[in-house]
Amino acid sequence: MTTLQIDHVSRWFGNVVAVNDITMNIGPGVTGLLGPNGAGKSTLINMMGGFLAPSTGTVTLD
């Protein structure tokens, strides 16, 4: 089974914190990200896809 592991991931742009210390494991199935505008959902998805490097922490596939 393929899993995506996100371990203490943070991302900031200058003084703006986009994602702050996220840790989770995502396995097979459907997963949704919910939150208001500016919560960091798109930034987290970009880091999971490898398009954006986290400022701290790791994103690991398998």
pLDDT one-digit tens code per residue, 14-50 = 999 999 999 999 999 999 999 999 999 999 999 999 9
Q: Which residues are CB-neighbours of 17 under 8 A, at least 6 positions away?
A: 10, 11
pLDDT at 1: 81
pLDDT at 45: 96
pLDDT at 7: 97
Q: Are 53 and 10 in contact (CB under 8 A)?
A: no
Residue-range domain boundaries for the chain:
4-25+39-61
Res. 53: pLDDT tops 90: yes
pLDDT at 55: 97
Q: Are 52 and 43 in contact (CB under 8 A)?
A: yes
pLDDT at 46: 97
